[in-house]
Copies of this chain bind each other. A is one copy, B any other.
Amino acid sequence: MINFKNDYSDGMHPKILDLIVKTNNELLTGYGTDKYTSLAKELIKKEINDENADVYFLVGGTQTNVVGLSLIPSYGAILTCDTGHIATHEAGAIERTSAHPLIHIKSIDGKMDFYDLEVKVKMHKEDQHMSYPKAIYISNTTEYGTIYTLKDLKKLREIADKYNLYLFLDGARLGSALTAKSNDLTLELINQYTDLFYIGGTKNGLPIGEALIISNPNLKEGVLQTIKQRGALLAKGRFLGLTFYGLFKDKLFYEIGQKANDLANELKVGLQKLGFKLYANNDTNQTFVYVKNKDLEYLSSKILFESFVTLKEETIIRLVTSYVSTKEDVENAIMIFKNIK
């Protein structure tokens, strides 16, 4: 069985496991005050070239969205793609826990439609009975594996500044985004153009862990207490510090993302050659492909994957590669797809 179900089926990258094993006997202080956490923060600040940024390590993606958006003034609403993770697959975490209303913006292949964004912001700002926009939430890669370009990010910053909004970037799959062929962003640029963002670890080889980075000074007060209040402060913070240290000390972060992308791109090329139609074509680690509904049973018996959109006669399925995927996985998958062509 080929596992293209997701990028969190693995335990953790061997280099990370190695660090955990080697340091297990050390007695360290708790709640993120240990030396590995400090080292990891320094590495990240260096990577984003911003000594003044505040870096916090959290456990998971939804948690980091909840904590990050909890820093947005409580009277504000969050602008998100209608396909955004917080709008669809976080069980209403933002509404219930950070208690911000969401405003849904149209999306094109998972990316925010800037025209609709501006229309909605104006409409809401003009009518005091509507929710009050205060932050834009995007994710990179998006839910459909597409990525934002530097031009996109500049445009979003421009809109954010024009309407006095904060800009938050969910980087659960930022490793894949930043190593895509078509990518022209860097961690430094993302830090520069957003107010806060996070770097995902869980879907990039870590057992747990996301790094929240805050550059806007207005959002830097009360953060540790917010983290604690949301139940997100890890007693044995060493496991976050240590693993992010491992991820950034030798650029493992990029290596893991790159490998996942390379395999995905081989897969995409293979599928297209066979005549399969891709949805939201991208060069990151997620591949969305149309398959006939009658072939789903056969495919499911050979490959683990998720169905995304069910249409009348076709289904868009998602195939995800990761650093544990292999060239053989890709080649075998292409063979299997050949059988249904």
Q: Could you tell me which A residues sit within 8 Å of B by CB distance?
A: 3, 5-6, 8-12, 14, 17, 20-21, 23-31, 59-67, 70-71, 73-77, 88-93, 95-97, 99-102, 127-132, 134, 202-203, 207-208, 221-226, 228-236, 238-239, 324
- Given A63-B232, A236-B11, A238-B11: A96 in contact with B99 (beta carbons within 8 A): yes
The reply to whether A236 and B208 contact each other, CB–CB distance below 8 Å, is yes
Contact B130 A73 (CB under 8 A): no
Residue in B8, B10, B91, B95 whose beta carbon sits within 8 Å of that of A130 in the complex: B91
Determine the main DSSP class of A at the interface with B. loop
Provide the bound-state CA to CA distance between A231 and B97, in Å.
Answer: 9
Query: Which of B6, B12, B14, B74 lies in contact with A30, CB distance below 8 A?
Result: B6
A9 and B25: CB pair below 8 A?
no
Q: Considering only CB atoms, which chain B residue lies closest to A67 in the complex?
A: B231
Decide: A129 and B29 in contact? CB cutoff 8 A. no
A324 to B27, CA, bound (A): 9
Determine the chain B residues whose CB is within 8 A of the CB of A9 once the complex forms.
27-30
| Identical copies of this chain, number | 4
Docked CA distance A73–B221 (Å): 9
Q: Are A231's CB and B230's CB within 8 A?
A: yes
Q: A93-B229, A131-B225 are in contact. List 15 more A-B contacts (CB 8 A).
A: A3-B27, A8-B236, A9-B28, A9-B29, A11-B238, A31-B129, A65-B231, A66-B230, A74-B74, A74-B96, A75-B229, A76-B222, A90-B129, A91-B225, A208-B239
Tell me if A60 and B226 are in contact (CB < 8 A).
Answer: no
Write out the residue numbers on chain B whose beta carbons fall within 8 Å of the beta carbon of A130.
Answer: 88-89, 91
Indicate whether A233 sits within 8 Å of B60 (C-beta atoms), given known contacts A70-B74, A75-B221, A222-B76. yes
Report if A11-B30 is in contact (Cβ < 8 Å); known contacts: A75-B223, A75-B229, A129-B228: no
- The contact sample of 22 A-B pairs, CB cut-off 8 A, is A10-B24, A11-B20, A11-B23, A11-B236, A11-B239, A27-B324, A59-B231, A63-B232, A73-B222, A75-B223, A88-B130, A90-B129, A90-B229, A91-B132, A92-B101, A92-B131, A96-B99, A128-B224, A203-B235, A208-B239, A230-B230, A231-B232
